[in-house]
Structure 1
Amino acid sequence: MKLGVYNAILHDRSLPEAIAVVRDLGLAGIELNSGGFLPATHIPTLDQIIASDAARDDFLGVFAGTGVSIAGLNCNGNPLHPNPVIGDAHARDVRRSILLAERLGQDRVVTMSGLPGGEPGSTVVNWVVNAWNSAALDVLDYQWDIATGFWREIDRFAADHGVGVALELHPQNLVFNSADVHKLIELTGATHLGVELDASHLFWQQMDPVSVVRHLGELVFHAAAKDVRVNPEWARLNGVLDNSFRRLAPDEPRTNLGGDEWANAWPEHSAWDFVALGRGHDTAFWTEFLRALHEVDPEMWVNIEHEDVSLGRLEGLQVASEVLLEADAALRAGL
């Protein structure tokens, strides 16, 4: 497998400094933000790269001789958001990322399927968690109609530019499990839409990432290495859909998600947490995860995403990389 790091956790430093971190971890690639929820911090000349060979060559020159290459582009966001300030901007970022990928010799763009509002005229998203009533199915029918048109167009655009679009199976998106993936492909007739397999979002939903990889097969284009720890004392009381998040005040450090939407503070007594690799599932699990991905594509990028708030930026990457490299070594020994 090809192992790297998703660069969001390294936005506090320059691209050459981030590349050096990845190299020193013993990893080979860096997945770069190209828009969406987060800015393209490490691609400040994005539009110039699309338009100019000189700008492209200058950017690629930053990687020359480092032993680290670009490991895909990431524009996670909500291109279906009913507020055009957010939705139109994120959709534009998806298209720009596809053009950028082609220019940089990349064939993978990671994003999310998105989530519309629940009815015409909506201004906020509506995630149907459990469609037990007919009104909820009406909402889903409306949302799937919007998603089908958008992703059919994006699939054709991606095909024209030789790029695969990998959708992260992320909750509060229309496509967040295997059944939804098959539905989207069937409705759109897509040939260049697939999945970014981030195991963390599957764990807390009681999905088995290894089984999902083997079930989806060639629809898995890309992967993220991020772990989850379930906290039984709170999960047994509040379940994994607990909404005890806290709104952050404007004077607190917070992440803008587009328009006037912001990430909230995680529940103090959470049913589950994102943790570094090995803190939720052991190396043996990650070896089997890599094995399943290897069966699909031995050259697939598997990039660490660090969101363990108990560990510093570099500390968390070090913990995760040690587990991932150990798992990869075990995989290679068993092939």
Structure 2
Amino acid sequence: MKLGVFTVLFSDKNLEDMLDHVAAKGIEAVELGTGGYPGDAHCKVDELLADEQKQKEFMEKISSRGLIVSALSCHGNPLHPQKPIAEEADAVFTKTVQLASKLGIHVVNTFSGCPGDHENAKYPNWPVSPWPNEYQEILKWQWEEKIIPYWKEKAAFAEQLNVKIGLELHGGFSVHTPATLLRLREACGPAIGANLDPSHMWWQGIDPVESIKILGREKAIHHFHAKDTIIDQPNTNRNGLTDMTPYSDMQNRSWYFRTVGFGHDSKAWADIISTLRLYGYDYVISIEHEDGLMSIDEGFTKAIQTLKPVIVKDSVGDMWWT
């Protein structure tokens, strides 16, 4: 395994300064935003697609510092009912897959998106209750008319270019649990997999270790984010887990994100790492920092300090004790 970072947290630095900074911290892999919610501070898709020499220079800047690119990321909503929003997300995703293929990067991370509830809807509709029955009707329409057709086409496109799609299981989007990921994968093929982030499992009441087992059995984990979550039980008793309190109002939220080790201890993270290895994931653990209680540098440094002792670097080889 390699320890990586989603570099969007250093968007204030240029590419070279960012690479120097993370390499000096002991990071071995970078996940680069190409547009959408993460922005494109370190990877300009249009510029790179148009110039093979720039592609070569770009990758040399990364490899010369002993780093690899774990994934390109363009989280957005390509199923948004407002066509300009959906078309922009789709265009960025399509170009990102093309660039990843040219650069020899095998994973593109994004969200599944979430449609509206009918053809003329204005906003996404995220059904999370099976009753009243209208919600089931909305969900059926979304999957049959929007989600599966779109991702079936994109999975075939990515597979042709030898790229895997890592969908982040994230609330507010149609694919947000192991079950919804596997439903889409069954319909669209193995190019579809998870960019699994345990922080979003914890707040949904899902044990990340068990989610790894569920997805790992199907070889459906393409990438992994390292981010933590804390549950505030008194606030959960008031608001529930589908809490609409703004992220900035942390004192009153049911849950909020923390840097690795500040929601769950090292043993919990050691169990996560070990289960990833048990089910065949031997790729990058990409730190994502969205902690409202500490600075980027402090949170990033503490995440590294938590993960380095528990990350498994070497394959076991032969079981000599047997």
TM-score by length of 1: 0.89
- What is the percent sequence identity of the aligned residues? 30
Q: How does 1:160-175 map to 2 (within 5 A)?
A: 160-175=160-175
CA–CA distance in structure 2, aligned partners of residues 156 and 266 of structure 1: 42
Q: Which residue is equivalent to 2:283?
A: 300
Structure 2 runs not aligned, ≥5 long: none
CA–CA distance in structure 2, aligned partners of residues 3 and 39 of structure 1: 22
SS of equivalent residue, structure 1 residue 196: strand
User: What's the CA shift for 1:40?
Assistant: 1.1
CA–CA distance in structure 2, aligned partners of residues 111 and 152 of structure 1: 15
Tell me if structure 1 keeps the 8 A contact 2:111–2:170: yes
- Higher mean C-alpha displacement, 139-148 vs 179-188: 179-188
User: What's the CA shift for 1:126?
Assistant: 0.6
1:322/1:329 Cα in 2 relative to 1: closer, same or farther (>3 Å)? farther
Deviation string, structure 1 residues 227-257 (Cα, Å, up to 9, x no partner) = 0011122112222212122xxxxxxxxxxxx
Q: Which residue is equivalent to 1:261?
A: none
Q: Which residue is equivalent to 2:70?
A: 71
Q: Which residue is equivalent to 1:199?
A: 198
Cα RMSD, aligned residues only:
1.8
CA–CA distance in structure 2, aligned partners of residues 18 and 125 of structure 1: 35
Q: Which residue is equivalent to 1:254?
A: none
Deviation string, structure 1 residues 295-323 (Cα, Å, up to 9, x no partner) = 33353111000000111111110011110
Amino acid at match of 1:229: I
CA–CA distance in structure 2, aligned partners of residues 54 and 106 of structure 1: 17
Tell me if structure 1 keeps the 8 A contact 2:250–2:256: no
CA–CA distance in structure 1, aligned partners of residues 48 and 282 of structure 2: 26
Q: Which residue is equivalent to 1:5?
A: 5
CA–CA distance in structure 2, aligned partners of residues 125 and 298 of structure 1: 33
Choose between structure 1 and 2 for higher RCO, CA contacts under 8 A separated by at least 6 residues. Answer: 1
CA–CA distance in structure 1, aligned partners of residues 266 and 196 of structure 2: 18
Deviation string, structure 1 residues 209-239 (Cα, Å, up to 9, x no partner) = 1111111111011100000011122112222
SS of equivalent residue, structure 2 residue 252: coil
Structure 1 runs not aligned, ≥5 long: 246-263
Tell me if structure 2 keeps the 8 A contact 1:226–1:275: yes
SS of equivalent residue, structure 1 residue 71: strand
User: What's the CA shift for 1:114?
Assistant: 0.6
Q: Which residue is equivalent to 1:239?
A: 240
Q: How does 1:81-160 map to 2 (within 5 A)?
A: 81-145=80-144, 146-160=146-160
Deviation string, structure 1 residues 22-59 (Cα, Å, up to 9, x no partner) = 11221101100011223211013x22322322111121
TM-score by length of 2: 0.93
4+ residue runs over 6 A deviation? 330-333
Deviation string, structure 1 residues 182-231 (Cα, Å, up to 9, x no partner) = 2112233x121100110000001110111111111110111000000111
SS of equivalent residue, structure 2 residue 230: strand
Q: Which residue is equivalent to 1:258?
A: none
Tell me if structure 1 keeps the 8 A contact 2:274–2:312: no
